[in-house]
Structure 1
Amino acid sequence: MLDLLHQTYAPFVVTMLASLFTADRPAVAVADAHAEISAALIQLRAAGYGDDSVLPLPVGNARDLCRQWVNAGWLIRQVLDDQGEMYRLSAHGVGALEVAGRVGGSRARVSESRVRTLIEAVGRLSNDADPDVAALVARLRMEIEERERELRRLESGGDIEPVEDERLVEEAENVLHLARELPADFARVAESIKAMQRDVVADLRQDVRPTGEVLREYLERGQQIMETTPEGRAFAGALRLIGDPEQIDDLSSRLRTVMRHRFTGQLSEAQRRDFTDIARRIERGVKEVLAAQRQASHVITTQVRNHDPMRDREVDELLRDVMTGFQRWMPSSRRGEPIEPLRHLPTAAIEHLRRSLTDPQPPQPPAPLAQWAEEAIPDTDTRAWGGPNYAALEDFLAQLGDGSGDIAAAFGAAPEEIRRPVDLLGLLELAHRAGMTETEDVVIVDTVRPDLTRRRFALGGVVRTTTEGIEDE
């Protein structure tokens, strides 16, 4: 974070990151980020920025700048299943923007609200560190009596004492000051979880301890990942307070009530926007940390299930051999020298492989097929439900003699065995092969299915011109 704020191009970097990542857009697609940064660079250079007399601009295009920011730890590049490659601000980047926002915004003042918040925090810390039952009981009784007096005064017709707008503005600035640290805290928790995930996977790949011990330890760490880091434990405590949806809804309702008051007119536009987005920032931060927790648990569990020490050791040895080969080859290589590509990986030289297995029992032939009894053969001819009976159709057409003829009339004179719907299609096919002429008339043909049900079809008239083609068939 200090590297970002102290570098020469800090004004440009902070401005670009603040314009890219907002409360409504915590992640930006890689292509969109490059396009927006390129447009900003073009506008700034056209306006004269980058010269010696004005603010300097970094050298390089948007892609190079984003790569530098990722390497410096200000941006995080990750791949989302439903959105593709995205840029997100790291915890250091969020902290730098918060510092820049505090410097550029209203200065935090020593007010009654800030002092009261400090006193209450110290009181809670004292009670939690060294609880005194007698003091706690006395304080609770005092609070109860004070609230009962206030309740009786209001019930008897007393008025609510108005609060000055200046004091309300001070309290609103104190709330903004407290909420300004939340995004960086959430980002640090998520990054600490991801760092712990990488450490767990690296330790698992080293395979220093027995497999059973590694499995037990890492499965437990995967299930209780929030309890393994100080940030995770702190977030788990905060989650018990803000993780309830009813708490977030109640907070949003209270914020809307505050924004309807007239004193908010004394706040700047940025302050009003930040005040409205407090609940949304908290909810988004909780979701981000929980998503990082689920991903870390999934990665660790997958690594434990698929962990193969022998395969990992072979891969490591192969990579070391490759790097050693590169180190030997680079000093003697020349620029533009052709390189013969590796078509396939080398295979082990094995003299003989076993081709058969010894079986004390000789192979047995398959069991004979069962003989069908005559009464088991169905009486109905299942071929009647098959395709066209071309042979019977050709014999029937041959009986009609040569010359032309109406296909519909010929089909109506045929026996019922070859007057099925499929036989009508077969007859049209035979007529097409032999030569036929279509007419403009529409004819109706009755067909008989094998179960003696009748179907009626309408088709264009077809006249058979010759039977030579049929006889050749």
Structure 2
Amino acid sequence: MTNSRAEAAYHRSLAAFRTPTLDLLHGYHAPFVVAVLSIVFTVDRPAVAVSDAHAEVAEILDQLRAAGYDEDERALPAGSAREICRRWVKAGWLVPQIDDDVEVYRLTAHAVGALEITGRTGGGRTRVSNSRVRTLLEAVERLADDAETDPARRLDRLVRERAALDEEIARIQRSGRADPVDDEQLLEEAENVLHLARELPADFARVAESIKAMQRDVVADLRRDVRPTGEVLREYLERGQHVMQVTPEGRAFEGALRLIGDPDRIDDLADQLHSVLAHPFAKAMDAAQRSELDAIGRRVELGVEEVLTAQRRASRVITAQVRTHDPVRDRQVDELLRDVMSGLQAWTHGSSPDAPVDPVRSLPAAAIGHLRQSVGDIRPPGAPAPLADADDAEFLDADTRAWGGPRYAELEEYVASLGAEFDLAAAFQEAADDTRRPVDLVGLLEIAHRTGMVETDEVSVVEAIRPDGTTRRFAFGAVTARAAGPAVASTVKETDDE
């Protein structure tokens, strides 16, 4: 029995030391890691751009090396700042994310927990105090009261509490003053508040990471799901909408959010902390403790924002994955990736590390010939018959011809009779009705552009007649056409109907 208990305890200890939290604290360069993470990531700066983080880590390395700490190989890690940060990501202390199209680093819950442990161990006194014991007793008492289902006992407790409050109110009303609390006790209570507040960032980060892990599991399960699409949609959209209730940490956070999610309550918390810091006993606290106490409200606000951001991102990712869910395509992609990985492994086993690799510069084009129009037609396709000359063409339908393009032959003959230079708008207005269609105006402009024209700043307005008798008015830059000259383009626009 002793051996089994010892073995179980040993296995629990092994599991604890395999976590990234204790791995960080027990690591080769643990003091350096803790120092850098505590400098780069603060309460007001939970996310740092990747480029900024690399620059700051490089600056810290240079300062410590200039101070001579690189003489001890256990003090500073080797490599550049980028390589160090990548190792920290692989170890589970940093997580890269995309925030507003910018890649940033965030501390994981394990890293936040490690920083909280080191801060609590080296940053202040940890002692059994009246405040801590009272916090424990009140928590146990509240737990017992909440678990009580007997209405008589609960009523008796409420009556006692009310009697104690009435007695305190009467005593203050009689004396006209409240008994002051000893400064030592106030300091103990402030230290207890700081002790409780140091655990919040790790708790918030743990909730956010549990939501992200659930998101990854849902997406992985969805890719393996081969059920009908309708059934998949119903289930996974439900999980996306209620992502907070899926994990135990999320459900616990929802309960806490009812207390701290109200902006007025956060404002009240900040006002209370400022009031506490204004009392004389706060002068006995060091600057770090006062700053940490003042930042509790901001820390709570940022923690809530981090969890809610993770919730929104998970819901958005799950919903997008469900909407594009295609089991057949996903299986094809998986098979393709497996084939690629197999081919890569086979190539690496049969080639040297310095073997050149020819890049794929372009994808092969599919050679598609003539598609037969019918299966029974085995004759090769023939060339189309040549087009007939325009002089031999006959328009059997005059109405169809009237709605056709410009009458170039008539327009060129008309332009030839206008002399060496003419105003295009006046020429169009004086033309025959069958060559005053809107398309004929375009044809006249084309002929003028070909033979040479000049466009002025004035605006010309003409009236065109459609084959059905309706009229249109067009405005364009005034054009003077001539026998030779530079070609200037003109823009025509329709103005209104008549």
Quickly name the TM-score band, shorter chain normalised: 0.7 to 0.9
Q: Which moved more, 1:267-276 or 1:193-202?
A: 267-276
Q: Which residue of 2 aligns with 1:321?
A: 339
After TM superposition, list the pairs within 5 Å mapping 1:64-463 onto structure 2: 64-82=83-101, 84-344=102-362
Q: Percent identity?
A: 60
Distance in 2, matches of 1:355 and 1:169, equals 93
Q: AA paired with 1:117? A: T
For residues 320-359 of structure 1, the C-alpha deviation after alignment (integer angstroms, 9 at most, x for no partner) is 11111122222221344333333455789999967589xx
Q: Which residue of 2 aligns with 1:380?
A: none
1:222/1:297 contact within 8 Å kept:
yes
2:226/2:327 contact within 8 Å kept:
no
**CA apart distance, 1:449:** 8.4
**CA apart distance, 1:369:** 10
Q: AA paired with 1:58? A: P
Q: Which residue of 2 aligns with 1:407?
A: none
1:226/1:293 contact within 8 Å kept:
yes
Relative to structure 1, the CA distance from residue 391 to residue 349 in structure 2 (aligned partners, 3 Å threshold; closer, same or farther) is closer
Q: AA paired with 1:142? A: R
Distance in 1, matches of 2:368 and 2:71, equals 69
Aligned residues: 393
Q: Which residue of 2 aligns with 1:20?
A: 40
Relative to structure 1, the CA distance from residue 14 to residue 294 in structure 2 (aligned partners, 3 Å threshold; closer, same or farther) is same
For residues 105-140 of structure 1, the C-alpha deviation after alignment (integer angstroms, 9 at most, x for no partner) is 112221111111111100111112233322221222
1:49/1:55 contact within 8 Å kept:
no
Relative to structure 1, the CA distance from residue 391 to residue 58 in structure 2 (aligned partners, 3 Å threshold; closer, same or farther) is farther
Q: Which residue of 2 aligns with 1:403?
A: none
2:49/2:103 contact within 8 Å kept:
yes
**CA apart distance, 1:278:** 0.8
2:229/2:325 contact within 8 Å kept:
no
Relative to structure 1, the CA distance from residue 355 to residue 30 in structure 2 (aligned partners, 3 Å threshold; closer, same or farther) is farther
Q: Which residue of 1 aligns with 2:63?
A: 43
For residues 404-438 of structure 1, the C-alpha deviation after alignment (integer angstroms, 9 at most, x for no partner) is xxxxxxxxxx9xx99xxxxxxxxxxxxxx99xxxx
Relative to structure 1, the CA distance from residue 151 to residue 447 in structure 2 (aligned partners, 3 Å threshold; closer, same or farther) is closer
**CA apart distance, 1:158:** 2.5
**CA apart distance, 1:75:** 0.3
Q: AA paired with 1:31? A: S
Relative to structure 1, the CA distance from residue 243 to residue 395 in structure 2 (aligned partners, 3 Å threshold; closer, same or farther) is closer
Q: AA paired with 2:42? A: T
For residues 48-99 of structure 1, the C-alpha deviation after alignment (integer angstroms, 9 at most, x for no partner) is 11224x85211111011000000000001111124x1111100000000000
Q: AA paired with 2:180? A: P
**CA apart distance, 1:40:** 1.2
1:20/1:33 contact within 8 Å kept:
yes
Q: TM-score, normalised by structure 1?
A: 0.74
Distance in 2, matches of 1:179 and 1:391, equals 97
2:421/2:482 contact within 8 Å kept:
no
Relative to structure 1, the CA distance from residue 396 to residue 353 in structure 2 (aligned partners, 3 Å threshold; closer, same or farther) is closer
2:47/2:104 contact within 8 Å kept:
yes
Q: Which moved more, 1:205-214 or 1:105-114?
A: 205-214
Determine whether 1:30 maps to 2:50.
Answer: yes
Distance in 2, matches of 1:43 and 1:306, equals 51
Q: Which moved more, 1:139-148 or 1:72-81?
A: 139-148
Distance in 1, matches of 2:196 and 2:397, equals 86
Q: Secondary structure at the match of 1:95?
A: helix
Distance in 2, matches of 1:131 and 1:40, equals 58
Q: Which residue of 2 aligns with 1:60?
A: 79
Q: TM-score, normalised by structure 2?
A: 0.71
Distance in 1, matches of 2:262 and 2:397, equals 70
Relative to structure 1, the CA distance from residue 472 to residue 305 in structure 2 (aligned partners, 3 Å threshold; closer, same or farther) is closer
Relative to structure 1, the CA distance from residue 258 to residue 390 in structure 2 (aligned partners, 3 Å threshold; closer, same or farther) is farther
Relative to structure 1, the CA distance from residue 391 to residue 277 in structure 2 (aligned partners, 3 Å threshold; closer, same or farther) is farther
Q: AA paired with 1:63? A: R
Distance in 1, matches of 2:67 and 2:35, equals 16
Q: Which residue of 2 aligns with 1:457?
A: none
Structure 2 residue ranges without an equivalent (≥5): 1-20, 376-395, 401-414, 431-451, 464-480, 486-498
Distance in 2, matches of 1:227 and 1:122, equals 26
Distance in 1, matches of 2:124 and 2:370, equals 82
Q: Secondary structure at the match of 2:95?
A: strand
